[in-house]
Structure 1
Amino acid sequence: MAYDAFLLLSFGGPEGQDDVLPFLENVTRGRGIPRERLETVAGHYRHFGGVSPINAQCRALIEALRPRLDLPIYWGNRNWHPMLADTVAKMRDDGVQRALAFVTSPFGSYSSCRQYLDDIAVARAAVPGAPVIDKIRHYHDHPGYIAPHADAVRAALAALPSRMAARIVFTAHSIPTSMNAASGPGGAGRYEAQLRETAALVAAEAAPELPWDLAWQSRSGPPQVPWLEPDINDHLETLAKDGVREVVVSPIGFISDHLEVIWDLDEEARATAARLGMAFARAATPGVDPRFADMVRALVEERVLAHSNVRHALGTVPTWDFCPDDCCASPKRA
């Protein structure tokens, strides 16, 4: 299939103190989140000067992709500038007819996949003459995603006093259990299944002799709504009671060091481990690792050369180019 542009599609984040609350209001619009909760989360951003690292990471990825792609590159966000609708208007004005979108989440769920498809539909509806925009498939088990995470786990293990005494804890953004149950066509719990497969692949490559767990972070919902558990801090408490004294935490749910990584893990989880007397090392995310940037190029080539049947995947949880209509249905808001 022919494409004449590449779109990097991401979550977006504030780039100054004045942006923080308007950004959070965009993120939570229509969800009835109390103002005091927004102020709490705003404090996390303000701790870092009101700047989320995600936009700078998108710019860095774009620069890494320029020499790898023979397509003009555009960038649009769900929640902050550059907003997706503005980017789609620019693409139309530049004469783009059909673009391929790479989303900065490898996994399938409403918030990490279907909502981006909805964002594309809304943005295109707002721009008369908008180009067709197709989304690249999930890449949770692509070698270019697994290898950088595995090397990062090895490096983190080397920073601990005793590698053989360590436990690996993989983390990802928690979501409501109802959203997880609805992820995948017909509701297949694909989000958690993909993450467990990613964790198993990274562990097998980095340290097959060590035990590992999958924990969750960044819960933001009301306490009466069940979310995926255990929370990383609760899990560290459990491990400490079981006698674990060294831990590597690997945020396999993230392609780069988002604010959730540097706050929930580098600040909160690290503090929890210190209180428990545990040695703690946090594994890096892929960022602009050349293998990750090469993966993006490979995914573009895979779609363009769909007839070649070349599909790089290390796992068995299936992925597809076009999501079925019943895939990852929108959760009902409480």
Structure 2
Amino acid sequence: MTYDALLLVSFGGPESPADVLPFLRNVTRGRGVPEDRLTEVAEHYYHFGGVSPINEWCRKLVDALEQDFAANGVNLPIYWGNRNWPPMLVEAVQRMAGDGVKRALAFTTSAYGSYSSCRQYLEDLAAARAAVGSKAPAIDKIRHFFDHPGFIHPFADNLRDAAGRVADSERGATRVLFTAHSIPDAMNDVSGPDGARYTDQVAEASELVMEQSGVDLPYDIVWQSRSGPPESPWLGPDINDHLKQLAAEGVRTVVVSPVGFLSDHIEVLWDLDTEAQQTAAELGMTLHRAGTPGLDSRVVTMVRELVTERTDDAPIRRLGKLPLWAPGDDGCCPARRPAGLGR
């Protein structure tokens, strides 16, 4: 199929203290989240000067992609729009329409399938197109990339580096923890068209990272950043609860790999580098946090390869065995909207 643009779609984040509460209200609009809860979460952003790193990361990713595309003969202009903070998605679609774009591919910064990490992006793309009107381009979302080598290999290298900081004398009391954003159980129970769930994808990505890293340590999968009401069951165990359990079992060191996140942003910096580190310290444990892929050159190559899968029928590069499907297919990540703050 012929495409004439790439659209980078991300979550968005505040870039000053004055942005924080308006941003959080955008994220939670229509969900009935009380103002005192927003004020509580706002403190996480204020801790880092009211600035989320995600917008700057997106700017740098766009620059890197433009250079890579030019060097490799991919003649697609790149646009960028966010779900929750400027540059907003509808503004990007408006610019695309004004530039005469007829059909675009969308790369979203979430690797996995679920309502909030896939279907909600599809809904936001549809809403932006509807707002722009008849001149809006058709937009096709690129597939989930949780098992692409350009995603897995940077995580594996970063895990190997972090595990290398563990003293030999401590390795017998060390556990690797893979963490991803928790979602409601009911959302996870809704499978993709071939039965694969969000938890299956996270589990396969974690297994692949372990295999590629060569790290010989036991590992667990845990969850973070729960934001729903207490009476609503979400995926567990939460990383902080699991740290307490591990401490009781005699584990003294953990190596944490945030396999659910492509880059460092507030839910990595606060939930892991601040809260989980504090929990570990209180338990007398050492926590080594492995890095996310960020702007690793292999991520840039991955995006280009995902594009050329669609534009040139290039071979699909993946390390996993779970079924893949094109986002937008019937049954893909059905709409079970979560309560709470979301991602």
CA distance in 1, matches of 2:30, 2:114: 19
Q: Determine whether 1:46 maps to 2:54.
A: no
The residue that corresponds to 1:244 in the other structure is: 251
Q: CA deviation at 1:322?
A: 4.1
Q: CA deviation at 1:161?
A: 2.4
Q: Determine whether 1:284 maps to 2:285.
A: no
TM-score (normalised: structure 2)? 0.94
Match among 179, 192, 201 for residue 199 of structure 2: 192
Q: Determine whether 1:320 maps to 2:320.
A: no
Q: In structure 1, the residue corresponding to 2:67 is in which secondary structure?
A: coil
CA contact (8 A) 1:176 1:226 kept: yes
The residue that corresponds to 2:163 in the other structure is: 157
Q: In structure 2, the residue corresponding to 1:182 is in which secondary structure?
A: coil
CA contact (8 A) 1:245 1:279 kept: yes
Alignment gaps of 5+ in structure 2? 70-74
- Matched residues, percent identical? 60
Q: Determine whether 1:125 maps to 2:109.
A: no
Q: In structure 2, the residue corresponding to 1:68 is in which secondary structure?
A: helix
The residue that corresponds to 2:93 in the other structure is: 88
Tell me the matched-pair count.
331
The residue that corresponds to 1:5 in the other structure is: 5
CA contact (8 A) 1:181 1:189 kept: no
Q: Determine whether 1:173 maps to 2:173.
A: no
The letter of the residue matching 1:269 is A
Q: CA deviation at 1:109?
A: 0.2
Q: In structure 1, the residue corresponding to 2:110 is in which secondary structure?
A: coil
1:1-334 matched pairs, under 5 angstroms: 1-69=1-69, 70-128=75-133, 129-162=135-168, 164-165=171-172, 166-185=174-193, 188=195, 190-306=197-313, 308=314, 310-331=315-336
Q: CA deviation at 1:321?
A: 2.5
Alignment gaps of 5+ in structure 1? none
What do the CA deviations read for 1:232-267 (whole angstroms, capped 9, x no partner)? 000111111111111100000000001100000000
CA distance in 1, matches of 2:261, 2:46: 21
TM-score (normalised: structure 1)? 0.96
The letter of the residue matching 1:110 is Y
Q: Over aligned residue pairs, what C-alpha RMSD do you find?
A: 1.4
What do the CA deviations read for 1:139-173 (whole angstroms, capped 9, x no partner)? 00001100000000011111222363321100000
CA distance in 2, matches of 1:203, 1:164: 16
CA distance in 1, matches of 2:235, 2:338: 17
Q: CA deviation at 1:208?
A: 4.7
Structure-2 change in CA distance of 1:326 and 1:202 (3 Å) = same
CA distance in 2, matches of 1:333, 1:10: 18
Q: CA deviation at 1:320?
A: 2.0
